[in-house]
Structure 1
């Protein structure tokens, strides 16, 4: 019952705060203005992440007993660092090296003090345990990479919130089943906040989550993904038994991982800096094919859900390696199909000009 109350509380707090944030942002001209690297044409408040953060934090402190809250101490410290770094970046852009430094320090708190880290490759590619001197920096690298990969998919109305709901609902189910109550409350409280946020972020969006929201979501999801890999093996979720936790985790996070790898590969192959923004993301491709924001978001959400469901169904029969090959083959198939469709429409390899009208032009800043 307390979990249900935490979801409702997070939803209500976020739902109440967002109109205030929107009004204040407009009154002081704190808006995400259109420029040459963005597609949206209307200046839009981009501090929605504040409402998400306050909503789920209130719910977590309300629902989690103090004794269990102590287990989240360093994780929450890291999350607060990411929160303030995100606000600073949304108000006045930070240099990339300063953002990276804050992310690395927050990740270090989680890895070293909360002991949420990758201890090996869990049989993937025949590799087992890894020494601690390698495990800690490698896990920090994974945390920072996944945090930023989630930031990259925050490109159209509703997408980041929808994918966040899907992933965190799954993690919340796993942690509740495994008896990790505090982490389950955290996941599901964020879900409650995201549902409230989507009421204001669905196309046409009245507010963006900004770097504050996308970095928070990325940090939470990446940290809990590593915890999932360590605790999920052997768990039974209804009809599903988890044995290959690495592959199932990658399947749960497939959209941010796949989109980041795909975009970076395109940029490398074109001789460009992988951090230079462009319009080669999956959501950009779907918009070029004529889908609107809502349709593209639903399509990508269903794609993520399909990969996760497939992984859960096949997991009892396949190891990490075989399951990863199937997931990779499906992603390659999607890439080839999208490329073929774009080539037929004459978009492949071209820079799409910024349109001048349509309610589907609200795209938040993402690389």
Structure 2
């Protein structure tokens, strides 16, 4: 029965997204609601950026229908109290609503990063209020259980960190949605394995939403009015849901499984999370505002090697799958701290290799430096 519900949730969300996204495109072109290209962006033609508007409503309709049917027929919800699940999801919906509204305003009019940060912090506070906070590091750096007064601020940091990581990695077609889709599939599988069925359904409902969007985002043609971006509305929504599921898994009652869940769960987001740290440190080193955008993200570096946009996207998705598989296999044999150090080492080595190919490519084509025109040709 649970497999039937999961498949049903996936199909319903995919169908709803497939119906809504073309309507968003129609409205966007009628009202001229575009993401206009500039020197930092890769695309060269105005593209609608309201695809993320479909994410939250479709998810809400799908999950409410599934949970309503299960309650109506007295089917098992979770291995925990239904009241606990209900409270957590009410706070999740409240946080998603606030992020959804600020995302829509940002996509339509623009919002300062400070204002968005304040809203993100307010939304992050809702998780500890519902009883969901990071209460253990699972032995990372020798730290196991952490007290409430430390865990709550750390939880707020993690939620804001993940949310912004997804937002910042959304720089080329299919990247943020592809990485989120991979992460949701892995997290949904883990939830299913441990019997956390509602969270599993949320994960696969998001996958159902992302697949139609990904097709429009990657294969849609601007001249046919079929291409669309997710915008901040979509990226903020995805980041918040991902942090919700990861925190839930890291609070698993099984103390034996918790260290594994901590590392494997976070490894699904290694690419965006590590990239944020590298970019912020680079900006601080150059005495620049760490909140202002630039062209130093990992997808920009892939493009500077001469890759086309789709190859860069596919390459980064493969990097994400590699880290997930590596951590899932080695977590049984290595200490969690050593494995985290190995991830960081491999990330550094990858960037050294990228730097070598960037220097090689720019030495062969000295006139084709990283400009907007060259970025467009790379696509």
Ranges of 4+ aligned residues in structure 1 off by more than 3 Å: 65-69, 232-235, 356-361
- Paired residue secondary structure (1:122): strand
Once the two structures are superposed, residues 191-243 of structure 1 have per-residue CA deviations (whole angstroms, 9 ceiling, x without a partner) of: 000001111101456000000000100111122112222228578xxxxx774
- Mapped contact 2:161–2:273 kept (Cα < 8 A): no
| CA shift digits 1:271-298 (9 cap, x unpaired) | 2111121111111111122222221111
The yes-or-no answer on 1:223 pairing with 2:244 is yes
2:52–2:232 CA contact under 8 A, matched in 1:
yes
> Partners of 1:336 and 1:232 in 2: how far apart?
40
Residue 272 of structure 1: which of 283, 288, 293 is its match? 288
Unpaired runs of 5+ in structure 2? 72-76, 222-226
Compute the displacement of 1:153 (Å).
Answer: 0.6
Structure 1: unaligned runs, 5 residues or longer = 236-240, 362-367
Aligned to 1:54: 57
1: CA distance between counterparts of 2:57 and 2:309? 27
After TM superposition, the structure 1 stretch with the greater mean CA deviation from structure 2, 20-29 or 37-46, is 37-46
* Counterpart residue number, 1:95: 112
- 1:148-177 Cα offsets, whole Å, 9 max, x none, are 011111000011111111000111111112
Matched, 1:343 2:346: no
Corresponding residue number in structure 2 for 1:364: none
Q: Secondary structure at the match of 1:303?
A: helix
Quote the offset at 1:266 in angstroms: 1.6
The answer for the alignment partner of 2:29 in structure 1 is 26
Give the structure 1 partner of residue 329 of structure 2: 313
Instruction: Say whether 1:79 aligns with 2:82.
Output: no
Q: How does 1:182-201 map to 2 (within 5 A)?
A: 182-201=198-217
Question: 8 Å contact 1:251–1:311 — kept in the other structure?
Answer: yes
SS in 2 for 1:291: coil
Structure-1-length-normalised TM-score: 0.91
> Which range moves more in the overlay, 202-211 or 159-168?
202-211
CA drift of 1:117 comes to 0.8
Q: Distance in 1 between matches of 2:369 and 2:102?
A: 32
In 1, the alpha carbon distance for the partners of 2:139 and 2:369 equals 42
Shift of 1:38: 2.3
Counterpart-to-counterpart distance in 2, 1:325 and 1:60: 38
Partner of 1:288: 304
Residue 15 of structure 1 is matched in structure 2 by 18
Give me the whole-angstrom Cα distance separating, in 1, the residues matched to 2:377 and 2:237: 27
Equivalent residue of 2:136, what SS?
coil
Instruction: Please list the CA deviations of residues 241-274 of structure 1 after superposition, one character each: whole Å capped at 9, or x if unmatched.
Output: 7743332223211111111112112212222111
Alignment RMSD? 2.2
Q: Please state if 1:353 is matched with 2:371.
A: yes
Question: C-alpha distance in 2, partners of 1:149/1:336?
Answer: 22
The residue number in structure 1 matching 2:46 is 43
Would you say the 8 A contact 2:306–2:378 is kept in 1? no
**Alignment partner of 1:160 is 2:176:** yes
- Contact 1:233–1:243 at 8 Å: present in 2 too? no
Shift of 1:359: 7.1
Report the equivalent of 1:365: none
8 Å Cα contact 1:10/1:189 also seen in 2? yes
How far residue 360 of structure 1 moved from its aligned partner, in angstroms, is 5.6
| TM-score (norm. length: structure 2) | 0.88
Q: Are the structure 2 counterparts of residues 98 and 155 from structure 1 closer, same or farther at C-alpha, using a change threshold of 3 Å?
A: same
SS in 2 for 1:355: helix
Using the alignment, how far apart are the partners of 1:271 and 1:344 within structure 2? Answer: 28
Work out which of the residue numbers 305, 313, 319 in structure 2 matches 1:303. 319
Range with greater deviation from structure 2 (144-153 or 267-276): 267-276
For 1:354 and 1:200, locate their aligned partners in 2 and report how far apart those are by CA, in whole Å.
23
Distance in 2 (alpha carbons) for counterparts of 1:42 and 1:253: 30
1:212 aligns with 2:233: yes
CA contact (8 A) 1:244 1:319 kept: no
- For residue 238 of structure 1, what is the aligned residue in structure 2? none
Structure 1 residue 262 and structure 2 residue 286: aligned? no
